[in-house]
């Protein structure tokens, strides 16, 4: 038999970063609605468990079931019997996003870079929190300052927010054509700004690699930890940690040049040294543990996403875990904590 002509080569499907902004938004929307279809029904059952904030009277305290921080001290003093405040779930949810678009978020060695993955996370959160009257606002931390997107309702607003994130200025852009932004020193200041604008109790989602202000000494708190703790005192806070596999371990590819995207400092590294790769992996693991501990101390719920994994699967697992936690009896939740 004669050999068949294989014909012209078939082009591979373009990755997300190769698409135009409109095509990327369309693909993101299809991915979210198809993969998270079972989670998009119902209101306020999504990313984090927790009671509402509208007062609805008081009742007697139940040991082992009620949280002490919900004690109604005025009623307790009048009746000499411990009482707790009861609250109704909020009918409308305001979600504020803080999206880190600093230079360290421009790194990526998989299909998505960290900024693209941050946009995907925001798209998912936007669809999960969508509902009548629910509003979504954002603060975007860029190399040139903090850009604010007012909180509004609707799908059109969400798509506009995603376009703004895709078009957010990057390091090296011409400063003369970059939109005006509020100057901030880093993630800690950006968190403080979110606290200033988020007047009503709601959901705050911080999407970052959380490397900004991380001290070399793991015994010292991160510079942003105090500001994050102040947010968790009033709001439910979800910390979406975005990482890339090459931040966690080095491949054996010979001599490479590593560049710090924040400072521009560079260093040549011989990756053929096994001991160097092991030290790098150990240091990276220690750094991620440092971030996890800081988030835990601040009282934020953590969702870890990686550029080389299926982010929809990670988000689905997180949402299911949080729903199981919310459905568990209060005594079990307290025991698990």
Domains, the chain, in order of start with CATH, read 54-88 (no CATH), 92-245+302-331 (3.40.50.410)
CA atoms of 335 and 337, how far apart (whole Å): 5
CA atoms of 104 and 161, how far apart (whole Å): 21
Query: Tokens at residue 120, please?
Result: 């995907």
How far is C-alpha 98 from the chain's CA centre?
A: 8
Q: Higher model confidence: residue 26 or residue 126?
A: 126
If we measure between CA atoms, which residue out of 104, 216, 97 comes closest to residue 164? 97
CA atoms of 319 and 317, how far apart (whole Å): 6
pLDDT digits (tens, 9 = 90+) for 57-110: 678 888 877 777 788 888 888 888 888 876 644 557 899 999 999 988 988 888
pLDDT of residue 319: 83
Rounded to two decimals, the pTM is 0.77
pLDDT digits (tens, 9 = 90+) for 134-151: 899 999 999 888 999 999
96's enclosing H/E stretch is strand 94-100
pLDDT of residue 20: 63
CA atoms of 151 and 198, how far apart (whole Å): 10
**Contact by Cβ (8 Å): 32, 21:** no
Beta pairing partners, 267: 258
Distances in Å between the alpha carbon of 87 and those of 54, 58, 72? Answer: 5, 9, 12
**Contact by Cβ (8 Å): 136, 158:** yes
pLDDT of residue 144: 86
Which pLDDT band holds residue 219 (cuts at 50, 70, 90)? confident
If we measure between CA atoms, which residue out of 154, 289, 324, 311 comes closest to residue 240? 311
DSSP reduced 3-state for 180: coil
Q: Higher model confidence: residue 56 or residue 263?
A: 263
Query: Tokens at residue 183, please?
Result: 């100057």
150: Cβ–Cβ under 8 A, 6 or more apart, which residues?
A: 137
Burial class (CB in 10 A: 0-12, 13-18, 19+), 134: buried
pLDDT of residue 10: 40
- Tracing tokens 């294989």 back to the chain, one arrives at 6
Query: Tokens at residue 144, please?
Result: 């040139």
pLDDT of residue 47: 61
DSSP reduced 3-state for 100: strand
If we measure between CA atoms, which residue out of 331, 313, 306 comes closest to residue 109? 306
DSSP one-letter string for 290-320: HHHHHHHHHT-EEEEEETTS-HHHHHHHHHH
pLDDT of residue 16: 57
């Amino acid at each position: 038999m004669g050999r068949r002509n294989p014909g012209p080569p078939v082009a591979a499907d373009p990755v997300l970063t190769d698409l135009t902004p409109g095509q990327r938004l369309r693909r993101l929307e299809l991915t979210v609605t198809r993969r998270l279809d079972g989670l998009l029904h119902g209101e306020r059952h999504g990313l984090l468990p927790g009671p509402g904030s509208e007062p609805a009277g008081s009742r007697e305290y139940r040991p082992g079931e009620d949280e002490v921080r919900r004690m109604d001290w005025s009623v307790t003093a009048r009746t000499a019997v411990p009482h707790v405040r009861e609250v109704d779930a909020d009918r409308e949810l305001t979600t504020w996003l803080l999206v880190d678009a600093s230079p360290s978020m421009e790194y990526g060695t998989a299909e998505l870079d960290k900024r693209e993955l941050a946009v995907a996370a925001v798209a998912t959160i936007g669809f999960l929190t969508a509902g009548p009257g629910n509003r979504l606002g954002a603060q975007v931390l860029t190399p040139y300052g903090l850009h604010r997107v007012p909180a509004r309702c609707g799908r059109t607003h969400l798509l506009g927010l995603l376009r703004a994130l895709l078009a957010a200025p990057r390091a090296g852009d011409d400063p003369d054509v970059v939109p005006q932004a509020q100057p901030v020193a880093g993630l800690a200041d950006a968190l403080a700004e979110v606290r200033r604008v988020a007047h009503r109790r709601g959901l705050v989602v911080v999407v970052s690699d959380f490397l900004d202000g991380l001290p070399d000494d793991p015994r010292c708190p991160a510079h942003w930890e105090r500001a994050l703790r102040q947010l968790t005192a009033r709001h439910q806070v979800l910390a979406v940690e975005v990482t890339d596999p090459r931040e966690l371990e080095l491949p054996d590819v010979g001599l490479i040049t590593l560049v710090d995207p924040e400072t521009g400092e560079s260093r040549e590294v011989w990756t053929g040294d096994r001991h160097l790769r092991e030290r790098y992996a150990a240091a990276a693991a220690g750094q991620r543990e440092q971030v996890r501990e800081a988030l835990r101390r601040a009282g934020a719920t953590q969702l870890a996403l990686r550029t080389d994994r299926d982010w929809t699967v990670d988000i689905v697992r997180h949402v299911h875990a949080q729903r199981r936690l919310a459905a568990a009896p209060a005594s079990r939740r307290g025991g698990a904590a």
